Amino acid sequence: MTYVELHDAPGKAPFKGLAARLSRLPVALGEGLVDVLETGARLREVTRLRAMSDAELALHHITRDEIVPHVFRDRYCY
């Protein structure tokens, strides 16, 4: 019985890992950009709601201490 071991060429292995990491780069950049844009929009919403009076907030069915959980409700479990 004969056993055969298959190996990649030693010179190609480092480039294979590098290519895999580089192929994930656009996805990581895109996800990071989306996070930055969403966070900016959410912080503007928090600022807008904090500028409202308590009576105006009551019209939106939230209290002052519920502003941040309200704005980030789909992102974090509060």
71: in domain: yes
Query: 64 lies in which domain range?
Result: 27-78
CA distance 7 to 70: 55
Residue 6 within any structural domain of the chain: no
- Residue 1 in any domain: the answer is no
Task: Supply φ then ψ for residue 40, to 5 degrees.
Answer: -60, -45
- Closest by CA position to 71, among listed 62, 54, 32: 62
| Global model pTM greater than 0.85 | no
Per residue in 17-56, pLDDT tens? 788 888 888 888 888 887 777 778 888 999 999 999 999 9
d(CA 67, CA 62): 7
Q: 2 lies in a domain?
A: no
Question: Total domain count for the chain?
Answer: 1
With cut-offs at 50, 70 and 90, classify the pLDDT of residue 63: very high
Q: Is residue 21 one of the residues assigned to a domain?
A: no
